[in-house]
Structure 1
Amino acid sequence: MEAWTVLLAWLIGVVGACVCGVLAAQGVAEAGAHQRGERRRVEARLTADTPKDTASAPEAGEGRVSAPVRWTDAHGRPHSGTTLVDAGLRAGARLEVWTGPRGELEPRPVNHGESLVGAGVGATVASLGWCLVVVGGTHLVGLRIDRGRMRAWERDWEEFDRAHRGTP
């Protein structure tokens, strides 16, 4: 393969991987900041007793069960929904839940540390993806160069055969 293609591939790969990494990291970090900015922690009340045994709700996770809750949003409007809570709680127990802009239940937003880890993972994946694209492109350019060389080699051998065999 020509040296210039390898040099160009390295240049495109390094610069592109850096750009992709930075853009991906910024996107993930901004998404985390957006979550933290729009979600609010509110106090809710459990509307039914929860079972002490979590075997009835294995999908919820160890020590957690799905239960109905009621809360009031920042505008004083009442809401109700279902969320995961600790097992064995009694109706009326106070809990903290996270709500979105319209007062609907949302998962806890990612904290700053989780956002940084996600940004690092996103940057790494984006950079590696870009590098794979560059390696694939470099390979295709190499195949194209080799194909041209093979055609030139075939023409040279045809000329050699004509010159030495005396065939037109």
Structure 2
Amino acid sequence: MRRDNRHGPAVRYLRWWRWRRNPLRRHSDVVEGWVVLALWVLTLVGGALAGWAAAAGVDRTIADRWAGVHPVSAELTESAAHGTPVTAGYDIGRTWVTVRWTAADGSVHTGRAKALPTAAAGSQVRVWANRSEALVAEPPGKAESTFEAVVAGTLAVQLTVTVGYGTGRLIRHRLLDRRLAEWDTEWRHIGPQWRNLSGGRG
């Protein structure tokens, strides 16, 4: 049975041939090797930094949202059974109703909030208001914030790796075209000499 030596020392040697001295290595081969190595290092480091920055940005955005809102206890001014049903999102089954609450400065405000369809007029519901006492959506909780940060970081890493890989492929394609052009030029000079040595006619 023939032994498979595809992963033997010879293969490992060939993987680093651009950095080893050999008569077939060209200047463009060395350039390509260093370009590919530099791109991979930049892609890995850049991907890690981009992922961290994206995740940190999401964390800051959510923290700012939490800092700009506060919970209030509002009173339903109408029965939820007479409100408008929620038709989209995670709150399907709830109802839009008018609520009223008193701000810290004593001013009274009204707005629209979601409540269970069984809620009666005069019952209390927890809502979130911004600094202008306008009702806003509740900011994401800890689990949701972590999930959004992880997703943002992962997408940033994938985008950075994709750009780095695409750039590397483009550079290697250009270097290959240049190398083929060099080989074609050299063959124009060497080819006739080989034909003469082999007895052929130019």
TM-score by length of structure 2 reads 0.73
Tell me the percent identity: 30
Q: Which residue of 2 aligns with 1:12?
A: 42
Residue 58 (structure 1) aligned with residue 87 (structure 2):
yes
Superposition map of 1:100-139 within 5 A: 100-139=130-169
Q: Aligned AA for 1:148?
A: R
- d(CA) in 1 for partners of 2:77 and 2:187? 89
- d(CA) in 2 for partners of 1:126 and 1:75? 44
State the structure with more CA Rg: 2
Q: Secondary structure at the match of 1:51?
A: helix
Residue 31 (structure 1) aligned with residue 61 (structure 2):
yes
Q: Which residue of 1 aligns with 2:73?
A: 43
Aligned-residue Cα RMSD (Å) equals 2.3
Residue 97 (structure 1) aligned with residue 134 (structure 2):
no
Q: Which residue of 1 aligns with 2:9?
A: none
- d(CA) in 1 for partners of 2:175 and 2:100? 69
Return the structure number with greater relative CO, CA threshold 8 A, min gap 6: 1
Question: Which stretches in structure 1 are left out of the alignment for 5+ residues?
Answer: none
Do the aligned partners of 1:50 and 1:87 also contact (CA within 8 Å) in 2?
yes
Cα displacement (A) at 1:65? 0.9
Cα displacement (A) at 1:38? 1.3
TM-score by length of structure 1 reads 0.87
Q: Secondary structure at the match of 1:28?
A: helix
Aligned length: 165
Residue 143 (structure 1) aligned with residue 169 (structure 2):
no
Cα displacement (A) at 1:115? 1.4
Query: Which digits, 9 at most, give the CA deviation of each residue in 1:22-66, with x for residues without a partner?
Result: 101110111111111111000111111112899x54336443111
